[in-house]
Structure 1
Amino acid sequence: MKRHLVRSLILCCSLLLSSLMLFPQSAVPSIDALIVAAQDGRRPETERREAVIALGKVGVRSDAAVKGLISLLRDENQYLAGDAAAALAASGSRAVLPLAAALKDSSEPVRWGASVALSKIGPAAASAVPAILRALDSNSLRIRWCLLITLGEIGPSAKAHYGILEPLLYDADADIRWAAVYALRRIDKGRFEAQRSIENVTAVIEERLPALMKELNVPGVSIALIRNGSVAWSKGYGIKDVRTGEPVTTQTMFEACSMTKPLFSYIVLKLAEQKRLDLDKPLREYLDEPFISLKDEKNTVTARMVLTHTSGLPNWRVGYEETDGPLPLYFTPGTRFNYSGEGMFYLQRVLERITGEPLDRYARRTLFTPLRMERIDFGWRAEHDTLIAAGHDASGQHRLKTRYEHPNAAYSLYTSAEEYASFLSRLLRPDDARPELLSSAGVAEMTSRQVSVSVREPMDRPGAATGIAVHWGLGWGINQTLSGDIIYHSGANQSGFRCYAQFRRDRGTGIVIMTNGTGGSELWQRLVRRIGDY
């Protein structure tokens, strides 16, 4: 107690000394005098700021000081205005209602300063919530951003207004979306992290998809949803070929593009479980590949590096893989991430050497046929031709209907959205012990964070699905989010197909989107931006 009294006495003496220096002819300056001093642009900046600090010290017991500090928020000296906002925050609850009123001021700097002060007051500013909500209509992005942060600092006292704020998760501005996440998570964490219902997700799809297809010139789309580890809903939209006008159905097959890679990775990991392939053994011990440079370092490329895209190989060599041209290493294997289709094709050749079969035939025999997956294959088959959609360009015109007769582990898979979702469901049911499937330990390793990927930004998703960082597993991308990891992969082929898939192992949910137009990338991104982590 004695120490506390001594510290208080020292503080009072310091304030008195500052006041005497500012006002040598007046031992105890009035609030009016301090305000005049703070507003006097002819005084040195240090003296003006000392006057503001002094006002903050008496603000807790003076409405006049609060009013004077609010007037200083419009000062051209930003440092002084910042001091005024801090002093108002120090005034606490006495300043809340005057600051709430200041949110309607015609001066943008005053509204900004009032927003800042309220954010620093925090939960004690709860009585200002109605005024804050009205001020969110501001044309100033920085004020809207700060007010959302303020609501987050106020916390659960704003819970009744959660529904009003939720649409801001989809605001056009990324900073506003982030601030809405910050606010809603602190206002009601349970509601913020609640899983979306399948009814909610299908309603979003039905409402938005037709307009997106029209705007982005995407002729056909097929979507499948997974719930509780099983395919729960699927539907086709539009047409699979503008030349014929045939409708897309749940059986329509699309090019899976780069979403071929995760399924191929699954087959590779099954080989590893069977002890026929070592993920960390140099691939040249299975199949020597003629690199043109870094001949010693080529010996270190492993299956794990290929599946995590750290092999050092380019995405595609000049002239493409079919010509079997020179294939250089771009960097020392295992040292950094660089997405590579060539790595998958190299590993495919290793698999074919080990199994003695082409990839497509091996996959049919060991996986697709035993699991009765009929609308899926690593290459074109005559019996599938009438089911396969054609690709279209950015204007929605026919581009190409492919026949990939030579399977490629990086891009040649044909499948329906429903069938691909069926494959994903195998990853979400660890209790399924059929010999064709990966063990639960194998699936866990496949979907675990193997490498960090700083060169990529997380997917743009709302709310609890807001991304923090990107990692890569064994064949899958992984978005670390506020509520857990989302496993995902996208795909784009030059033939005019775009597709996307994601799932949550902890929730047993997932979505597959397949399109037959180059505008499909923008389409699925906009849908995911609304749906989030289902």
Structure 2
Amino acid sequence: MPIHPVPGRRRFIAHAAAFGALSVLPSVPVLAAPCGDAGSRSWIPSDAFLAELPRIMQAFAVPGVGIAVVEDGAVAWSRGFGVANALTGAPIDARTVFENASLSKPMFAYLVMQLADRGLIDLDRPLVRYRRPEYLGDHPWLALITARDVLRHSTGLPDWRKSPATEKLVPKVKPGTRINYSGEAFFWLQLVVETITGQSLDDSMQAHLFAPANLRDSSYAWNADLAARSVHGQRAHDRLDEGVPPQVLREQWSAAQQVAPRWGKLLSAWKYEDAERALPEVMALAPPGLVMWPGDILANAAASLRSTVQDYAAFLSLMMTRPQRASWEITEASRLAMLTPQITVPGRWTEKGLGWNMEQTRDGPMFYHSGSNSGIFKNFAIGDAPRRRGIVVMTNGGSGSFVHQRVVRAATGYDLLSYDL
């Protein structure tokens, strides 16, 4: 579904009371990062930096931040700062659910690799042999696109169509020849996974990853509990007295949620055909222009994941080097494939693995991804698999990328990796 930007308004600097609150999530005590190079020091932010973080948040008008750190292959530390809702003052706490935005993609990629390990999907078989959605156009290049192309962003498809209700989806360039970041490609692969498993996206994620990994606060869908615990966002140029700006996914889900109970089928169980059937009724309930096609009211592999920072850090830990893996986890070969460059494009400063970006640093390869929804929710996650460590930073402010850049720089010593897609 398109993650529509919303027009900005005047920049503001919020009151310190709105952004300075700190909530401690379950964690080990805060440790100062030891001296030394970035390859050996801890990634838990120092006391000195954490003391400065509320001021940084205030300067960039970011209401809330959640941070979680993986050390030695496990979640070792987490902390929340500020508020989940700038209007009510509800603090970030251990149960706060963030809008992950494009951090949704690596977690979905993990599910695809689980299915590949079980022989249920071939990464190099054209997607049209599994499922050809009716919204695809008539173009010979569509028959070349594979799951590997989707996960490494080489499908040639656009990120999102501007008018999905009327515009057919076709590649811009020949698949496998260029990097074209594409949410549309992930959504198509999601429909392929629906066909293979017979389940909705969220049901598949719950069965294969969330339940076995004990990610109890993660979902690609929506319900009353998630609504109550999810952050509200604030754009960089909004004033607090002008109210909370439109939250695209939240408002679309809210309209669909009015239909789901009458059907006796939770939104988390909806597949594409359910969204198609519900579309006319939801469009009648929603504000004009909010819901345009079935993808607007369906869980979305590219963008609709919500989780706590602790859950996402626990997922990061699955990518780390370790001697033994549970039977439900991806194989070692698949883990390495996700963290190995999959396409060579001259002139690029970063590489694409399967679901992750890859970057060679002075201390070795790092995997990472950023996320941005509605110009409001800005997130970043990075991992060092050989050293079994990682950090995830999630925010609910339009200038959140300026905050997560500073967190990542202070914690890891790396700068260029933390950017905004």
Structure 1 length normalisation: TM-score? 0.59
Q: Does 1:485 align with 2:377?
A: no
| In 1, Cα distance between equivalents of 2:48 and 2:43 | 10
Match of 2:376 in 1: 496
Q: Does 1:224 align with 2:71?
A: no
Q: Does 1:197 align with 2:42?
A: yes
Q: Does 1:529 align with 2:409?
A: yes
Task: Structure 2 unaligned segments of length 5 or more: list them.
Answer: 1-34, 254-266, 268-297, 415-421
Could you tell me which amino acid in structure 1 is paired with residue 399 of structure 2? G
Work out whether residues 503 and 533 of structure 1, in 8 Å CA contact, stay in contact via their aligned partners in 2.
no
Q: Does 1:316 align with 2:160?
A: yes
Work out whether residues 241 and 389 of structure 1, in 8 Å CA contact, stay in contact via their aligned partners in 2.
yes
Work out whether residues 43 and 390 of structure 2, in 8 Å CA contact, stay in contact via their aligned partners in 1.
no
Match of 2:270 in 1: none
| In 1, Cα distance between equivalents of 2:39 and 2:365 | 15
SS of alignment partner, residue 392 of structure 1: coil
Deviation at 1:454? Answer: 5.3
Match of 1:330 in 2: 172
Could you tell me which amino acid in structure 1 is paired with residue 381 of structure 2? A
Provide, for residues 102-158 of structure 1, a one-character-per-residue CA deviation record: whole Å limited to 9, x for no partner: xxxxxxxxxxxxxxxxxxxxxxxxxxxxxxxxxxxxxxxxxxxxxxxxxxxxxxxxx
Distance 1:393 1:194, change over 3 A: closer
Deviation at 1:450? Answer: 1.0
Q: Does 1:436 align with 2:280?
A: no
- Paired residues, number: 329
Work out whether residues 49 and 410 of structure 2, in 8 Å CA contact, stay in contact via their aligned partners in 1.
no
Identity of aligned residues (%): 37
SS of alignment partner, residue 433 of structure 1: coil
Match of 2:353 in 1: 473
Match of 2:311 in 1: 419
Greater mean alpha carbon deviation, residues 257-266 or residues 388-397: 388-397
Match of 2:204 in 1: 362
Task: Structure 1 unaligned segments of length 5 or more: list them.
Answer: 1-189, 457-468
| In 1, Cα distance between equivalents of 2:178 and 2:102 | 20
Q: Which of residues 203, 211, 215 in structure 2 aligns to 1:373?
A: 215
Q: For 1:46-445, list aligned pairs within 5 A.
A: 191-192=36-37, 194-198=39-43, 201-203=45-47, 205-290=49-134, 291-293=136-138, 295-320=139-164, 323=165, 325-395=167-237, 397=240, 398-401=244-247, 402-403=249-250, 404=253, 406-445=298-337
| In 1, Cα distance between equivalents of 2:344 and 2:172 | 19
Could you tell me which amino acid in structure 2 is paired with residue 508 of structure 1? R
Distance 1:343 1:237, change over 3 A: same
| In 2, Cα distance between equivalents of 1:411 and 1:263 | 11
SS of alignment partner, residue 270 of structure 1: helix
Could you tell me which amino acid in structure 1 is paired with residue 84 of structure 2? K
Deviation at 1:430? Answer: 3.5
Work out whether residues 68 and 309 of structure 2, in 8 Å CA contact, stay in contact via their aligned partners in 1.
yes
More helix by share: 1
| In 2, Cα distance between equivalents of 1:521 and 1:433 | 34
Determine which structure has more spread, i.e. the larger CA radius of gyration.
1
Deviation at 1:352? Answer: 0.4
| In 2, Cα distance between equivalents of 1:444 and 1:349 | 25
